[in-house]
A and B are shown apart, each in its own frame.
Chain A
């Protein structure tokens, strides 16, 4: 689809309508502005309107319907504060994004993806039988699944948290999306996606199921989830989709040439390390292990960090947060040891 560059209604009038119009007018004006933003690939419009949008600490969710097409973002169907639509995918996306925002805000004091109240854009009903969800660099996109292997991808709140966390990673560590850094990128999305579910359900480490995408596979498939952080490689085993290929230890690292070097496969290794750390510490995972990993993501990991760096960094941060030699720091060390990575202590200057 080719979006027109010339407006009939110029942007400054559209902005006024967004500020002062009624709901229907606001929806239309926002839709028009959003399409132009996507065309430019930037959020220029929003950044120019601080008086309307940058209210500190408030979530701003916008849900779109792609109506089984492949054009983004699609038609605006639910804005922040709008009531349930009755379209379950729309409402799940809205609620899941809200829960993810709340985790980041309440627990990690982070105001949305960019820590500046960035609007959360989500598109549902993308494509035909599209059995996937993805982050396109600016927004989240969800398919409906094919109905035989996969159900709709908004069904699992950790998937929504997973996708939004890719946005956070893009603003913080910016881990590149291949090989070990890519697997760490995937791992971070699984960590915080999982924490969204645990936070909503108020589960402790031993109460959590540690599954990613639980309930996404149809009953036809012999599988409980897409991945297990607790036991990588056990999430599914079915003739139609094969067996969960995730390793749980460095000795089984898969050096493959697909999936950008197996970023969704090798994420099993740090996932297991995080699980071991969390279980050892006990209690609510977001409080200690989550805090440690968040600071790693925000402050210390770099674009090309590998698993060894992540181990060293999380160990170091745990020492800063809980004390050198603390049981929390020891839990981090043991967590990584459990997947075959020995922490190398940083020499303090």
Chain B
């Protein structure tokens, strides 16, 4: 599974990027990621969650997952994110920091 993750916006306006290939990760970590992708029903998520009408300084996220011939990109933000996606997002932010 290949993942490309981008976070932008936020008060600091910093851009955080992470690219992962689960083939090169420890197997328990790879399993953890697979579980989060499944729990989020990632491939069924809409391409874009609504842009909030109000609000400022929230993060914007762009996440592409590619696996077994399927590829899907989701754009979302702090205000309108599907809650089930949050664990995967937080995991990827942590990965991006290292």
A residues adjacent to B (C-beta < 8 A): 70, 127-129, 131-138, 146, 148-150, 153, 159, 162-163, 166, 170, 177, 185-186, 189, 213, 226-227, 240-242, 245, 258-260, 262-265
Contacts and interface: CB of A to CB of B under 8 A. Distances in A.
5 contacts: A136-B79, A148-B97, A166-B55, A242-B15, A263-B9
A258 B6 contact: yes
Contacts, number: 92
Interface in B23-62: 52-60
Contacts of A189: 56
Interface of B: 6, 8-15, 52-60, 78-79, 83, 86, 90, 93-94, 97
A123 B13 CA distance: 21
Contacts of B8: 258-259
Contacts of B54: 136-138, 170
Contacts of A148: 97
Contact of A159 (B11, B58, B86): B11
A163 B9 CA distance: 14
Contacts of B14: 241-242
A40 to B, nearest CB: 14
B64 to A, nearest CB: 14
B11 A213 contact: yes
- Chain A CB within 10 A, most for which of B10, B12, B59: B12
B15 A132 contact: no
Contact of B15 (A134, A137, A150, A258): A258
Contact of B55 (A127, A134, A153, A162): A134
Contacts of B58: 132, 134, 136
Contacts of A127: 90
Given A134-B55, A258-B60, A265 B13 contact: yes
Given A132-B59, A136-B58, A166-B56, A153 B97 contact: no
Contacts of A129: 90, 93-94
B86 to A, nearest CB: 6
Contacts of B57: 132-135, 162-163, 166
B56 A259 contact: no
A137 B53 contact: yes
Contacts of A150: 12
Nearest to B16: A241
A259 B60 contact: yes
Contacts of B11: 132-134, 153, 159, 162-163, 213, 226, 264
Given A136-B54, A136-B58, A162-B11, A128 B90 contact: yes
B56 A213 contact: no
A206 B66 CA distance: 53
B89 to A, nearest CB: 10
A139 to B, nearest CB: 10
Contacts of A149: 97
